[in-house]
Amino acid sequence: MIRFDAVSKNYPNGTTAVDELSLELAEGGITVLVGPSGCGKTTTLRMVNRMVEPTAGTVSLRGQNIREIAAPELRRGIGYVIQHAGLFPHRTVLDNIATVPLLLGWGKKKARSRAAELLELVGLPAAMAKRYPYQLSGGQQQRVGVARALGADPPVLLMDEPFSAVDPIVRGELQAEFIRLQKELNKTIVFVTHDIDEAIKLGDHIAVLRTGGKLAQFDTPERLLAHPADDFVADFVGQDRGIRRLSFVKAADLPLREGLVLPADSPVARARAASEPWVLVVDGDRRPLGWAAVADLPNGGTLADAALTPLGHTFSLAGDSARAALDAALLSPSRLAVGVDPQGAVVGVADAYELSAAMTGDGAVGDAAVEKSTAEESPAGGESADVATAEDAVSKVQVAKGDKGSGSDSADSAGAGGDGR
């Protein structure tokens, strides 16, 4: 939709801000430009609305070279949000948001009613309409900035470090709100940040630029974490990319073990026969009761007589990522994470060692799942009698319970929530 063909920007002082950039940005997606300070992110962004003209190459919008579109007309279809919001200090919040509709000659009443809608859309109370920018917090100002950019409902939004000037908590809130808003609006967004975490959280695609305005890699967040193109990208993405990558692996794709999940009325001998240091004891509805250490079990009787160690937290196969599963495993006394279905029934347990294979990227779990989530293919085979993909196990449990699956999330799941996107 937005296409850069061998675009360069050289300044008269000899600086090459952007160097032969070729990039195709998908319609209706968020493309993040990320890279160290001075690598040409803002210059690239501003070439889309002709605030900066390229020295060489072409930028096109829906197939048309933007040089052929008069700048004011071009900008009517492109919203622009900057750091510190850049609001007009002498205008009320409502009039700030109404700026573009008024410029387009909508008339005061219609422009203000549109502004009121947008105020609500960005999550601000109507009572703020009459305030002036100095009477708002930084985060609230930024929301007004987003609302103003959406004034004429432009198909394209350019956002230059829009959330950089607020504290980390407000920033997280703004990012979450932004993801929600984009689901509703489906704009084509080009988003500049120097923060790789923000890029991974928000981007459908990420362009990593290196100093000198050269493109280092253009990829999905999943692939950037799994397969950085070179040492520069690997360093920029960070040492903990293995763990962060787990956010993109669905818990439903993890291998699960079922053999050590036993009902409370099972004889102790059955737990010993499992040849495992721990067994998970469940009730008649397969809800988890706790871990039993096999070495400490009484000589006879059933598991109902055993002293149980609390679970820690479970993870939800329906909604959590492998990152939540790994966290559950690390906090579990058995180092095994308990996966539950939407009703809170145990589907199986995941082993910390297998999860760490996904984390290092060398194991089939992580690679297969990342590729799968990218390509949306069906899971590969290769399951043992006791190890199946969680998706299969969920359906087995649901069939056993005569349940076709409700799809609602488990209230019992204490998965990290928020570690995914």
Should residue 212 be labelled a site residue for ligand ATP when binding is judged by CB under 6 A? Answer: no
Span of 39-47, 147-155, 251-259, 268-276 interacting with ligand ATP by CB under 6 A: 39-47
CB of 191 to ligand ATP, least distance (A): 12
Among 2, 4, 25, 43, binds ligand ATP (CB under 6 A): 43
Q: Which is nearer to ligand ATP, 42 or 389 (CB)?
A: 42
Among 1, 5, 38, 185, binds ligand ATP (CB under 6 A): 38
| Dmax (CA) of the chain | 87
Q: Is 396 in the site for ligand ATP (CB under 6 A)?
A: no
**C-beta of residue 320 within 8 angstroms of C-beta of residue 415:** yes
Show the tokens assigned to 300: 């006879």
Return the CA Rg of the chain.
26
Stretch that binds ligand ATP, among 11-19, 125-133, 342-350, 404-412 (CB under 6 A): 11-19
Q: Which of 37, 239, 299, 378 forms a contact with ligand ATP (CB under 6 A)?
A: 37
Binding mask 186-205 for ligand ATP (x = CB under 6 A): --------x-----------
Spatial strand order in the sheet of 16-25: 16-25, 2-10, 56-61, 64-65
Q: Shortest distance, CB of residue 15 to ligand ATP, whole angstroms?
A: 4
275 binds ligand ATP (CB under 6 A): no
Q: Which of 7, 21, 30, 39 binds ligand ATP (CB under 6 A)?
A: 39
Q: What is the DSSP string of 22-60?
A: EEEEPTTSEEEEE-STTSSHHHHHHHHTTSS--SEEEEE
Measured from the CB atom, the residue of 13 and 378 that comes closer to ligand ATP is 13
Is 86 a residue that touches ligand ATP (CB under 6 A)?
A: no
Q: Determine the residue type at 231.
A: D
Q: Does 366 bind ligand ATP (CB under 6 A)?
A: no
Judged by CB under 6 A, the stretch of 13-21, 163-171, 178-186, 276-284 that binds ligand ATP is 13-21
Q: Which x/- pattern, by CB under 6 A, does the window 44-63 give for ligand ATP?
A: --------------------
Q: How far apart are CA 102 and CA 123, in angstroms?
A: 22
DSSP secondary structure of 89-149: TTS-HHHHHTHHHHHTT--HHHHHHHHHHHHHHTT--GGGGGS-GGGS-HHHHHHHHHHHH
Decide: is 162 part of the binding site for ligand ATP (CB under 6 A).
no
Q: Are 94 and 130 in contact (CB under 8 A)?
A: yes
Contact call for residue 17 and ligand ATP (CB under 6 A): yes
Q: Which residues, 6+ apart, have CB-to-CB distance to 144 below 8 Å?
A: 85, 87, 93, 96, 97, 119, 122, 124, 133, 136
How far apart, in Å, are the Cα atoms of 396 and each of 265, 393, 405? Answer: 21, 5, 11
* Residue ranges that bind ligand ATP, judged by CB under 6 A: 11, 13, 15, 17, 35, 37-43, 194
